Amino acid sequence: MGDEEGVDPPTDFAPDSSWPLPVPVPVPVPGGPDSVSDTFNYFFDWDSAMLSEFEGNLQPGHTEEIERFDQLDRTETRPDLAGTFSASESFAGGGGSCVSGSVTSSNPGGSTDVLISNPSMSSSSSEDPPEKSTGSGGKPSEIPSKVKKKGQKRIRQPRFAFMTKSEVDHLEDGYRWRKYGQKAVKNSPFPRSYYRCTNSKCTVKKRVERSSDDSTIVITTYEGQHCHHGVGFPRGGFINHEASFAGQLKHPHSSPQMTGYLGTLFPQEYVIDEKETMAK
């Protein structure tokens, strides 16, 4: 009945519902801008990662993995970790937003709680600020025009970044995004745009910026994980090029169809096999 009527995420992380976030092509940014290099410090064995994700989703233990992954994310700048994580460890917990923290919930009856359950979700929840009361004691209740939830430490969600060669900054990925900010980044002539999933129950965010090294390369960093289907998203269907992208990665050398598919949907010149391209 209603448990899978489209809007609500299925009870649990079914492979077709919670997208393993796009595709973190393991691209070591060449000389990378410090702002992103940390993200790229991870070198996933994406093949395994994807498999792990799909297979592991249904396992009850993924909760722990999520937390673990979250920790990994926080260790970001540890080069020693690069290439050390096995995909199953690092990606299986790709979970983020909708589960972060406590997880999942899966709340068969309603997905709403899922979001709120995350104590660390300080940044978002803008939709329904429960009570930012934390006033932190510093600010007078006098309406600080821009009062933020203080006192709460911002814990980042697991992030995945990938580079795509494209002329457009904002690539279609099957989800609707609302831009909530743009900032000039240091060491880069290009601004960085901040997007948030328009789904009120979803706190996934993504940053989009162009590589200062190669302006044709768009660096997209996802934070969190969708807990809903993309727009017009047929269950299990790949409409999202990033998802397709993922599929492509699973068969980097034997999926000509996917390549064609991508080409059809997205005229831009996407670099699918960046492992090769960037490796040069």
Partner DNA sequence: CGACTTTGACCGGCGC
Partner DNA sequence: GCGCCGGTCAAAGTCG
What span, in angstroms and rounded, lies between the C-alpha atoms of 249 and 271? 11
Instruction: Please state the closest distance from residue 223 (CB atom) to DNA, in A.
Output: 7
Query: In the complex with DNA, which residue's Cβ is closer, 186 or 280?
Result: 186
User: For residue 7, how many C-alpha atoms fall within 13 Å in the half-sphere facing its CB?
Assistant: 9
Say which residues have a Cβ less than 8 Å from residue 126's Cβ, sequence separation at least 6: none
Tell the smallest beta-carbon distance from residue 130 to DNA (Å).
12
- Binding residues vs DNA (CB under 7 A): 35, 123-124, 126, 136, 139, 144-148, 150, 153-154, 176-187, 192-194, 196, 198, 205, 207
Neighbours of 98 (CB within 10 A): 28
On whether the CB atoms of residues 217 and 169 are closer than 8 A, the answer is no
According to DSSP, residue 4 is labeled G
Residue type, 132: K
Q: How far apart are CA 254 and CA 61, in angstroms?
A: 32
How far apart CA 41 and CA 77 sit, in angstroms, is 7
Which is nearer to DNA, 176 or 251 (by Cβ)?
176
User: Considering beta carbons, is residue 78 or 179 the nearer one to DNA?
Assistant: 179
Backbone angles phi, psi at 179, to 5 degrees: -80, 130
204 vs 243 by CB, closer to DNA: 204
- Tell the smallest beta-carbon distance from residue 180 to DNA (Å): 5
Residue type, 139: K
Q: Which is nearer to DNA, 132 or 165 (CB)?
A: 132
Q: Judged by CB, which is closer to DNA: 6, or 108?
A: 6
